[in-house]
Amino acid sequence: MWGMKCLTARSVLLVGAVAALVTAAAPGAWYSHWVYLVMYGTAVAVGWWRLRTFRGAARGSFVMIMVAESMWLAGDVLYDVVERLTPDLGDVTPSDALWIAGNPILAAGLLRLARRRSAVRLRNGLLDGLTMATVVAWLFGQYVVLPAAQNQRLSPEVALAVLYPLTDVLLFVAVVVLVLSPGAKGGPGRFLIAAVVLELVGDLLESTGPVIFPAISDATISRFDGILLLGNVLFISTVLHRDAERFADPRPDDRRLHPARVVFLGVALLTFPIMAALVTVSLAGRISLICSAVLLTGLILARFLLVVREQERTQAILAHQAGHDMLTGLANRPALIARLTTELVQPVGYGPVVCYLDLNGFKQVNDGYGHAAGDLVLVEIADRLTRALRPGDLAARLGGDEFVVVAVDATGEGDASALVERLRDLIAGPVRDGDREYEIGASIGVAAAADLTDPTADTLLAAADAGMYAEKAARRTLLGAAGQ
């Protein structure tokens, strides 16, 4: 147990780097192969031991990473066993199933990490990853899959030539999404990104080496196992990192445009035109180029559409917030002034009529039961005013417990008085807060444009405000007299 605690990410990585150098320096040597297997097996065992005490949201993702590593290790061991039993293995072995299946599981673990770290959906990151994956998939197909399958019938060997690059593309998508997801990329993130890069480079060299250089020896190809070993040790080192358990904690959403996104999209857009102009490809290559270009265009247009829609939503939210009270959703003072100014350009009949309301009993609720209770009262009164509005009317909150209702089609003084009484009765109903009831009333002042000389929005509000204060003063006098 004490020895396991002493195995830090850096110490395991250092030992793994030494083993990778031995593997690359002495390909084919018996001791080199045993160094590879012992180091790899030890690292996998240490990773699983660390996961026994792992806590936090990242555990499931790192379990998937360790499952992929275990499958690759099992594939290596199985290959050795089958090779001893059957010296002439051929190009397709049972180990290929384990090696191929590891990449999708690893990619799923990385995507799960990115999703848990993000406070929002990863739709934009996935589109960016698929955009770059389209380019990478075409390059793999053009220079790896087509050369391997040229003039050959469908066979297990050809199927493997397709599956290996395909799973590498999945892994590439996962690491792009992880890079572009919110949160710091240091610590375990740096290890994961470096590990994926090494895995992709190692797979690319091992798969394309015999195609590009037909005379290359098996011993030379075996040197690339050192790159793969170092990548695998890096994956396992992320589990041992001191920040691994917190790596999947949600991070704040950063809406700033990551420079890598611009670079990725620029490279993707330039790749196909450059390849079409500089490289002579076969008929199959031309068809794949056209299909990939169409897919790439669709992905970029989808990405552009999402950006535009998000910008439109943001602008709509900002426009709504600019003209509305944050708590109640009613119009605010600037929106009220703008509406009155518009109505006064061509006033209709007796209107517009302004009713200025100040709540009675609100201070007692706010002081006695707290601001949460006071906010509940304000929201309830705002809802009542909204439900009572006629078409064309406007309700606004000026701040505190002061509200304004504007009626634009009042026909006369009697109509305005009826509106005031309707508002008074509407507010007089008790406001319920669980088992409590708050008795709220209103002092209301009213002013009509027809009663003022050359009315403006400010003079209308001032006249209604004065009427409200007069009613409130009369109420206080009446309560004082009743108290005596």
Which uninterrupted H or E stretch holds 75? helix 59-85
pLDDT at 69: 93
Q: How far is CA 416 from the centre of its chain?
A: 52
Any idea how long the chain is? 484
H helices of 141-258, where? 146-149, 156-180, 188-212, 218-222, 225-240
Q: Are 145 and 162 in contact (CB under 8 A)?
A: yes
Least confident of 104-108, 267-271, 323-327, 382-386: 267-271
Under the banding of pLDDT at 50, 70 and 90, the label for residue 72 is: very high
pLDDT at 184 over 90: no
Least confident of 115-119, 225-229, 328-332, 387-391: 115-119
Which uninterrupted H or E stretch holds 397? strand 394-399
pLDDT in tens, 403-447: 999 988 888 888 888 888 888 888 888 888 888 888 888 899 999
User: Which residues are the active-site residues?
Assistant: 401
Sign of the CA dihedral with 461 first, then 463, 466, and 468 last: negative
Question: Strand 353-360 and strand 394-399: pairing?
Answer: unpaired
Cα–Cα distance measured from residue 402 to residue 280, given in angstroms and rounded to the nearest whole number:
76
pLDDT at 5: 44
Mapping DSSP to helix (H, G, I), strand (E, B) and coil, where does residue 358 land? strand
Q: Tell me which residue of 236, 234, 243 sits closest to 191, measured CA to CA.
A: 234
Within 8 A by CB and 6+ apart from 481, the residues are none
Domain locations in the chain?
2-318, 333-483
Q: Are 408 and 343 in contact (CB under 8 A)?
A: yes
Global pTM? 0.62
pLDDT in tens, 100-138: 899 899 999 988 888 887 755 667 777 777 777 777 777
Q: What is the assigned CATH class of domain 333-483?
A: alpha beta
Least confident of 110-114, 178-182, 274-278, 337-341: 274-278
181-185: average pLDDT: 64
Cα–Cα distance measured from residue 423 to residue 460, given in angstroms and rounded to the nearest whole number:
19
Per the rule left: phi > 0, alpha: psi between -120 and 50, beta: everything else, 370 is left
